[in-house]
Structures are given as C-alpha cells and as structure tokens.
Amino acid sequence: MSSELVVAVVQMTSVDEIDTNLQQLKSALDDIFKHAQPRLVSFPENCLYLRLVEGEKVAGLQISHPVFAQISKWAQQYNTHLHLGSVPLLVDGHLYNSSVLVRPTGEVEPTYKKLHLFDIQLDGQQPMRESDVFRHGQKPSVIDVDGWRIGEAICYDVRFSELFSQYAQQEVDVILVPAAFLVKTGEAHWEVLLRARAIESQSYVLASAQGGTHIGPRGGQRDTYGHSLIIDPWGVIIGQVAELKPGFVISTLSRAKIDKVRSQIPMKAHRRLQLPKL
C-alpha cells in the first residue's frame, strides 16, 4: 500500500441532460491534470443525470451505455480511478442510485447502491420521494485504490451512523460521500455530519457535492448546497470548494496521519459494541 494517495474532489452543477454533464466532467479532468496527477478523482451524486422536475420519470443507464465507454477512455488516458458518485443504474430491470468506479485499466465496476433513500418533507417545501424512482441498496461497500481501503456512501446515507460504524470496524482509510444536498439541510447539517463521520471513523472523508443553481434544457430548476469537502481523520477540513459553481480541490492523503490519530485515541481497542456486518 502506498503511504500517500493524491485525490481530487469535484463539484458539479449537473442538469437533466447527459451530454452536458459529460462535457462538464471532461472539463474538470482537463483542469485537474494541469495541476496534479491524482490517483482518485471523486465526482458527486447524480453526476451524469440530475432530475430537475420532481416526479419526472428517470431513464436508467446500463453499463453498456456509450457514456461509460467514453469515461473509460478518460480513465485510461489520465491513468487514474474515476469514481462516479452516483448514476441511475439499471440492474436486472430495477433502478438504483448507484456508484460506479472506473479503473485506470478502463474497467467499469458498479460498486455501491445507495442504502438510505431521500423521502422527506421540509416545512414550506414540496415533498421529495427518492424511493418513487429507486430501489434501496442492501449492503455497504469497500473498494481498493492502490491498497487504500475506501468505504462508500451517498448523500442521505451520511445521517445514518450505523453505516459508518461498519466502515470504522473494518478500519477503512477513506470514506466517500458524494452528494446533492438541499440548501436548507446543507446549511444546518452538511459540515457537522461529515466532520463527525471522519472523527468517529478516524478516516479521511471525501465529499463531492452538487453546487449552485441547476437549470435544465427543458426548464426544470433546483438549487444545491455545494461546499465540497476533504476532511482528515482528526476532523479538520483540509480542502473545500467554497463557491457555488463547478470546481475542484486536490489533496494528498497520508497514511501516517491516519496512524497518528488512531494511536493517540485507540478507539479500536476501546470499542465495546460489535455490529453484525450487513
């Protein structure tokens, strides 16, 4: 396992048109690789398609869709891992909000299906029901990038500490939390939840977010909170996209930092409750 891992967290303002989002994704990659050579580039939830009209039917993507072949070429071109925070993926005829990892070899791997779906009703706003579109995922997922163990979550999952306890018990090095947070909940809960997850897991957290005002080609519109973050195992924010528009932040993650935090506060030795693995 490498002692360091260079990563990039990308913020997007995706819309409900794949080609437009694909251009935004490629523009981010071109800019990132002018500055560094990250081995992992993390994109937000709904990076290839963001529904802007509540209740509108979502056409799912299969892994055979040409968009994945194009992204596979870019992963090979830049010799990096591209983590698509989530896409509407069709699996056995059912639609899932699913993460996809594209490896430097070009291999495309569906990795994690969102466990907790966003069915909520905020005061003064229309209800949102993600479960009207997607099925629930069934289990956590840990992926490997250059020997670094990386746990996966998506957006609303961040509120459910039991998922992150699973990753803490597996001693993952990094947790990915791609998201498309609402502005109201983001202002209240985004940073505090993510920092808490880093602290309790004693791992890095990479939170790639949708940010800004999304205006679709068919007139749909919504706003997302942005504030993409990189947080270290001590809970310190070491990188942030502060503006509400597409952007990115690059950081070098350190194995020594993880070891230092875990040696100072040895939570593994103190843990009294062992959760059954999902």
pLDDT digits (tens, 9 = 90+) for 94-129: 999 999 999 999 999 999 999 998 877 777 777 667
Contacts of 57 (CB under 8 A, 6+ apart): none
- Nearest to 63, CA basis, from 89, 94, 97, 37: 89
Which residue among 17, 45, 113, 130 is the active-site one? 45
Distances (CA, A) of 56 to 47, 85, 91, 155, 222: 18, 21, 20, 20, 14
Asked whether 257 and 233 are in contact (CB, 8 A), the reply is yes
**Amino acid present at 123:** D
Contacts of 163 (CB under 8 A, 6+ apart): 115, 116, 140, 153, 157
Total number of residues shown for the chain: 278
- Mean per-residue pLDDT, 164-169: 96
First to last CA, the chain: 26
pLDDT recorded at residue 198 = 98
Neighbours of 126 (CB within 10 A): 9
pLDDT recorded at residue 144 = 98
Residue 114 is a catalytic residue: yes
- For 4-270, give the CATH class: alpha beta
Give helix then strand counts, H and E, for the chain. 7, 16
- Mean per-residue pLDDT, 223-235: 98
pLDDT band at 278 (very low <50, low <70, confident <90, very high): low
- Mean per-residue pLDDT, 234-260: 97
Residue 277 is a catalytic residue: no
Provide the percentage of residues in the chain whose pLDDT is more than 70.
98
pLDDT recorded at residue 59 = 84
| Region of poorest pLDDT, from 94-98, 129-133, 143-147, 156-160 | 129-133
- Mean per-residue pLDDT, 207-221: 93
pLDDT band at 11 (very low <50, low <70, confident <90, very high): very high
Which residue among 47, 113, 152, 155 is the active-site one? 155
Which residue among 47, 113, 114, 152 is the active-site one? 114
pLDDT recorded at residue 55 = 74
pLDDT recorded at residue 143 = 98
- Mean per-residue pLDDT, 131-142: 91
Residue 155 is a catalytic residue: yes
Domain layout of the chain by residue ranges: 4-270
User: Could you give the 3-state DSSP secondary structure of residue 173?
Assistant: coil
The string of pLDDT tens digits covering residues 78-99 is 999 999 999 999 998 899 999 9
